[in-house]
């Protein structure tokens, strides 16, 4: 009886989740999905208002060693390229009770960000294994979607060419 009930429950859960629409993954070469919310600084951010800028959207976890490794590199690259129209925004994927950890690190490195669970609109998806980055060009087109630390080779491959356009 218990085995039959467990199988029935598992089957119902599978059917329920199979019937839900899959979250759309942003596609390279397509218009970037919406991203809108209030940054840790209190300023409003709306990706649709970033036309003319190159935007690096970086998913971040304060528990990730890779995220800790890359944050200084991202800050330095932003400082070197801000005048070329680069904008960097961090999306924290930690638990809501760990918001302070994400906010502290983002502010420490003079970056902007918000928590994924606090966004008004997020067509990129709420959670990813961090670090995950998306690059949106000056026309609002998604140009890259990558997992892993942002190193000088990442910047050369994914940001420098888009900033030169």
Is residue 57 predicted with pLDDT exceeding 60? Answer: yes
Give percent of the chain with pLDDT exceeding 70.
84
pTM, two decimals, is 0.83
**Region 109-120: what's the mean pLDDT?**
95
What mean pLDDT is predicted for residues 74-79?
A: 96
At 18 the pLDDT is 38
Mean pLDDT for 46-58 is 97
Three state DSSP letters for 2-54: HHHHHHHHHHHHHHHHHHCCCCCCCCCCCECCCEEEECCCCCEEEHHHHCCCE
Is residue 152 over pLDDT 60? yes
DSSP secondary structure string, 86-130? EEEEEEE-S-GGGHHHHHHHHHHTT-EEEEGGG-SEETT-S--SS
In angstroms, what is the C-alpha Rg of the chain?
18
Q: Please, what are the domains in the chain?
A: 28-164 (3.40.30.10)
Residue 23: pLDDT above 70?
A: no
Across the chain, what does the average pLDDT equal? 86
* Residue 59 CB contacts under 8 Å (≥ 6 apart), including other chains: 90, 91, 93, 116, 127, 128, 130, 131, 132, 133
Band the pLDDT of 24: cuts 50, 70, 90. low
């Amino acid at each position: 009886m218990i085995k039959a009930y467990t199988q029935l429950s598992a089957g119902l859960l599978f059917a329920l989740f199979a019937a839900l629409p899959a979250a759309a993954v942003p596609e390279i070469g397509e218009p970037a999905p919406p991203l809108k919310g209030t940054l840790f600084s209190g300023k409003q951010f709306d990706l649709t208002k970033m036309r003319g800028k190159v935007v690096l959207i970086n998913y971040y976890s304060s528990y990730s060693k890779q995220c800790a490794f890359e944050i200084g590199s991202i800050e330095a690259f932003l400082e070197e390229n801000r005048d070329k129209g680069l904008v960097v925004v961090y999306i924290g994927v930690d638990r809501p009770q760990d918001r302070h950890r994400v906010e502290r690190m983002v502010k420490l490195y003079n970056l902007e960000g918000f928590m994924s669970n606090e966004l008004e609109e997020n067509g990129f998806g709420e959670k990813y294994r961090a670090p995950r980055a998306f690059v949106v060009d000056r026309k609002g087109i998604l140009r890259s979607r990558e997992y892993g630390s942002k190193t000088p080779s990442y910047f050369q491959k994914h940001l420098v060419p888009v900033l030169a356009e």
